[in-house]
Chain A
Amino acid sequence: MSFVANDYKPEQPPPRKESGALGWARANLFNSWFNTALTLLALYFLIETVPPLIRWLFIDAVWGLVGPDVCREADGACWSFIRLKYRQILFGTYPFDQQWRPLIAMILIVSVALLSCIRRFWQPWMVGVWIATLFIYITLLGGGVFGLRPVRTELWGGLPLTLMLAFVGIAVAFPISVLLALGRRSDMPIIKAICVGYIELIRGVPLITLLFMASFMLPLFMPSGVSIDAVLRAQVAIIVFVSSYLAEVIRGGLQALPKGQYEAAHTLGLSYWQMQRKIILPQALTISIPPIVNTYLGLFKDTSLVAIISLTDLLLATRQSFADPEWRRFFVEAYIFVALIYWVFCYYMSKYSQYLERVLNTGHKR
């Protein structure tokens, strides 16, 4: 039997899927008796929980600026508590009449962060912008110059403190961790040993331990009269901690690259640093975006651990806001409010990382 095709078959569109809401529901929710049961069960739970939640959150909630007695009468959430205490939650123990300063500082740092997300601004001078921003940030909070009243760092608190610990942590830990990851893969035995030692030592202890050591043990070793600022010590502890985790994440990306990339770079005569900068790191870091962002989200929320060395971060400031016995029972509202703040930042970071993955992925078709 022989066969010869006498013509090519024309290209045809794929078969149309079952369209419409009903078709979709049948295909996805009711395609077997088990799935139908699950769907109905889920519906039941939603009907049971969502309407009461909405009623509590919005309809029965107290929105006006009223006292705790009015709230106690109501069935819903007491948002008047947030309206009364939001400045304490956001700024913690920072002097009340000076809170415009951290407010401006936060607007500044968030704006610069948003600008840095735009691809057009990925330029070397952006590093200078960040250093300047940080300088202004600390000056605004600390004062003591330009007629700003000095505010001791022990009084810094709330969201500005959390943002500073997180942003500076992210920015400073990143280059350190890249160097650690490269060092761990280095051929030079001493450099390799130092990097391995650092990473394994720091990864092996909880952040709380590091914070404790930084704030209580370090001063014991310091010569008398020399004291390092508490916020700075916490910041350093966070950077040290995160960079060890990040280093391993980046090393994972480095190892994912095929050997051929190194060989091709060598063959062109690129030096070690040129090769890392132009060929290896751009690819390794792109591969590592999801776990890097994972680490950053962890860092952002771990900043709340500085409460343990009595820094009033966002979470501790929140706890202090309902310390007042009259308002004690409205802690749920406070936590919802502060959770929303954390969530907005984390969700944005997560979304941005997905965008980054998309625009940086050239390995496949675009």
Chain B
Amino acid sequence: MSKQVSTEIDPKIAEAARHAPKPGMDNIIEMNGVNKWFGQFHVLRDINLKVKQGERIVVCGPSGSGKSTLIRCINRLEEHQAGQIVVDGIELTNDVKKVETIRREVGMVFQHFNLFPHLTVLQNCTLGPIWVQKRPQREAEETARKYLERVRIPEQANKYPGQLSGGQQQRVAIARSLCMNPRVMLFDEPTSALDPEMIKEVLDVMVGLASTGMTMLVVTHEMGFARTVADRVIFMDEGQIVEENTPEPFFSNPQHERTKLFLSQIL
């Protein structure tokens, strides 16, 4: 775990992130009494979480604590069985149209990138805009190149994902999500599958994104990242939110015993 803590964020980028727009007043995500089971296993227990427009939240916790499941419920990659999830004013139900609408507003970055290996980097980025948002190809490509520039790999546009390094692939995955102009970005352990040397290039991109005022929910163990950009840190254990605070008191003065134990092991 020590390697993750040692990953320093570029100070210039971090400084920009500190001057990011402050979160708004409106809730873009509301989870009320959300429960979920995998078979008999109660994976999410009475989750109540409100995320404001522009807020950046880091979710951490031991493995199996339900943090991935929590954010995967927000774009319905997992279905919750009880409670209510409202994203941008739309309640998640079995209505496929509503689910598709919400997915268009919510971008997601996965641990294992999940790029489409049969498409070039550029095609990966333009697929959603062209087919889901029905934008003209030229316009979609311009947007894609802009975001590839932002994640600092414009020169890889015509390569296939299999030809890129892990860090580059993850940055393409971020660009692919951004091309859909999402209102919320979910990150599911985006650096866990990366070599130490590549974690930094992905974190820099994420910090840069935070400074644009994007609403972000990030499941990660990168505590440097949490300190730099998070407005709030949520600690989960056994399917419930155990502690929730702004980064400074969360790290320096954790309240719950489980949080103290967790932090003592990774810091």
Contacts and interface: CB of A to CB of B under 8 A. Distances in A.
Interface of A: 258, 260-261, 263-271, 274, 278-279, 282-283, 286, 360, 362-366
Interface of B: 75, 77, 100-101, 103-104, 106-108, 110, 112, 114-119, 127-128, 131-132, 160, 162-163, 176-177, 180
Closest 7 CB pairs of A and B: A260-B114, A264-B114, A268-B128, A269-B104, A269-B103, A267-B108, A363-B117
5 contacts: A260-B114, A267-B77, A267-B108, A269-B128, A286-B118
A278 to B, nearest CB: 6
Given A283-B118, A363-B162, A263 B77 contact: yes
Contacts of B114: 258, 260-261, 263-264
A252 to B, nearest CB: 18
B107 A267 contact: yes
Contacts of A265: 116
Contacts of B176: 268
Contacts, number: 70
A185 to B, nearest CB: 17
Given A269-B100, A269-B180, A362-B162, A264 B131 contact: no
A363 B103 contact: no
A266 B77 contact: yes
Nearest to B103: A269
Contacts of B180: 268-269
Contacts of B100: 269, 271
A268 B127 contact: yes
A278 B77 CA distance: 19
A362 B118 contact: yes
Contacts of A267: 75, 77, 103, 106-108, 177
A366 B160 contact: yes
Contacts of A263: 77, 108, 110, 114
A364 B164 CA distance: 10
Contacts of B119: 362
Contacts of A283: 116-118
Nearest to B77: A263
Nearest to A282: B118
A363 B118 contact: yes
Contacts of B117: 283, 362-363
Contacts of B132: 268-270, 274
